[in-house]
């Protein structure tokens, strides 16, 4: 297999968000990921970059795809991977997040992957950890590896990010995916359109460097990429939108609405999809137009790249990563 040498550096102990990353750091991670995409298509997918390392996946919110993607990434790099699912029910409210951090820290992990339902919770936990911490999603704040894998998917298909117009549609208010993507795409010179009903658009979104639309036709005009977000069940039925059928009619992505974007515009979705709610199957499954399967594949590669980059900065690194 051909592995190109990647130049660059990543100078952070943790990956808590896209916020704070430089363009060169993002590019470095994407380049590193490209290599892993190739490696993951080989029969022998394993390396020993993380041999001897312990990776803990600590998920306070249930997740199938992100957790398995991180698990696979760690294992392919040779780490010992442990999954911990913590239910944040009232039952174990007794132990605070910081107690959990202190307990885990005593087990000397090298890499801690954390998902938590509260914005800022991963950063709080990282304060008490002496290992590298990866944010796998915190509340409505950030989900950096998702933004990186989305960027990688786009870059591999279109060859660039600079100058593209990307629409992000749906529940922007509650979406960490939207925030991380907005930050990353802005940093890389793409233009972002946020589209949704007013109840799902956060206050001050236009000040964060996006153009904001409530109408799909206007918002999708000239877009190279249409990124649909999952709409949570609890947001429906009158709370923030009156009904599924009205939402699908106004914001569900079907061929007709996709036609408002550029003729060859590509469709993305972070998954899991609600078919017939925010996206139509005909669009989601069209291999010409849909990047959704690519996103899953890129996810593993991006997470391998991030794990490698962070492991290289661990204080007790022996240089095996080189």
Partner 1 sequence: MNCAFTNARLIDPANGLDETGNLIVENGKIFAIGKKAKAPSGVKTHDCKGMAILPGLVDMQVFTGEPGEEHRETLATASQAAAAGGVTTMITMPNTNPVIDDAALVDFISRRARDTAIVRVHPMAALTKGCDGHGMTEFGLLREAGAVAFTDGDRAVMNALTMRRALSYAGTFDALIVQHAMDQDLQSAGVMHESELATRLGLAGIPVAAETAIIDRDLRLVELTGARYHIALVSSAESVETVRAAKQKGLPVSCGVSATHLMLNQNDVENYRTFAKLSPPLRREEDRLALIAGVADGTIDVVVSGHNPQNEEAKRQPFAQAAYGTVGVETLLAGLLTLHHADGVALNRLLASVTARPAELLGLEGGTLSVGARADFAIADLEAPWVVDADSLRSKSQNAAIDKRKVQGQVLACYVDGEAVFEL
The site for partner 1 (CB under 8 A) is made up of 96-98, 116, 118-121, 123-124, 138-142, 176, 179, 202-205, 207-208
Q: Which residues contact 318 (CB under 8 A, 6 or more apart)?
A: none
320: Cα separation from own chain's centroid:
27
Task: Name the one residue in this structure whose structure tokens are 């080189």.
Answer: 322
The torsion defined by the Cα of 98, 102, 108 and 112, in degrees rounded to 10, comes to -10
CB of 37 to partner 1, least distance (A): 30
Residue whose CB is less far from partner 1, 206 or 256? 206
Q: Which residues pair with 59 in a beta bridge?
A: 85, 115
Residue whose CB is less far from partner 1, 140 or 226? 140
Residue whose CB is less far from partner 1, 116 or 230? 116
CB of 219 to partner 1, least distance (A): 18
CB of 200 to partner 1, least distance (A): 12
Residue whose CB is less far from partner 1, 82 or 208? 208
CB of 5 to partner 1, least distance (A): 36
Residue whose CB is less far from partner 1, 35 or 145? 145
Residue whose CB is less far from partner 1, 241 or 261? 241
Contact yes or no for 241/199 (Cβ under 8 A): yes
Q: Give CA–CA dist 33/22, Å, rounded.
A: 17
CB of 129 to partner 1, least distance (A): 14
Cα angle: 186, vertex 190, 194; to 5 degrees: 75
Segment holding 245, helix H or strand E: helix 244-251
Residue whose CB is less far from partner 1, 78 or 202? 202
CB of 205 to partner 1, least distance (A): 6
Q: Give CA–CA dist 291/257, Å, rounded.
A: 17
Angle between helices 176-187 and 144-158 (to 10 degrees): 50
Tokens found for residue 218: 């206007």
CB of 114 to partner 1, least distance (A): 12
Residue whose CB is less far from partner 1, 99 or 246? 99
Q: Which residues pair with 226 in a beta bridge?
A: 167, 267
Contact yes or no for 214/196 (Cβ under 8 A): yes
Buried/exposed 37-57: b ≥16 CB within 10 Å, e otherwise: bebbeeeeeebebbeebbbbb
CB of 19 to partner 1, least distance (A): 8
């Amino acid at each position: 297999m051909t592995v190109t040498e990647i130049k660059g550096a990543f100078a952070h102990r943790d990956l808590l968000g896209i916020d704070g990353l430089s363009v060169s750091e993002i590019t470095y991670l994407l380049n590193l990921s490209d290599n892993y995409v190739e490696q993951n298509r080989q029969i022998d997918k394993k390396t020993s970059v993380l041999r001897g390392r312990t990776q803990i996946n600590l998920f306070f919110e249930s997740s199938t795809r992100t957790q398995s993607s991180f698990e696979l990434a760690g294992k392919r790099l040779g780490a010992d991977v442990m999954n911990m699912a913590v239910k944040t029910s009232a039952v174990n409210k007794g132990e605070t997040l910081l107690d959990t951090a202190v307990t885990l820290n005593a087990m000397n992990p090298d890499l801690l992957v954390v998902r938590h339902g509260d914005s800022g919770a991963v950063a709080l936990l990282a304060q008490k950890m002496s290992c590298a911490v990866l944010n796998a999603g915190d509340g409505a704040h950030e989900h950096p590896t998702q933004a990186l894998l989305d960027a990688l998917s786009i870059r591999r298909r279109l060859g660039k990010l600079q100058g593209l117009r990307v629409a992000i549609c749906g529940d922007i208010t509650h979406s960490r995916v939207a925030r991380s993507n907005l930050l990353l795409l802005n940093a890389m010179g793409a233009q972002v359109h946020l589209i949704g009903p007013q109840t799902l658009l956060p206050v001050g979104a236009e000040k964060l460097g996006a153009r904001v639309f409530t109408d799909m036709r206007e918002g999708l005009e000239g877009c190279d990429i249409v990124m649909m977000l999952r709409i949570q069940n609890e947001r429906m039925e009158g709370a923030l939108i009156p009904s599924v059928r009205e939402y699908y009619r106004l914001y569900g992505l079907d061929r007709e609405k996709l036609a408002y974007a550029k003729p060859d515009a590509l469709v993305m979705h972070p998954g899991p999809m609600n078919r017939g709610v925010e996206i139509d199957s005909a669009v989601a499954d069209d291999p010409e137009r849909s990047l959704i399967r690519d996103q899953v594949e890129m996810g593993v590669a991006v997470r391998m790249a991030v794990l490698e980059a962070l492991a290289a900065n661990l204080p007790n690194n022996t240089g095996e990563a080189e």
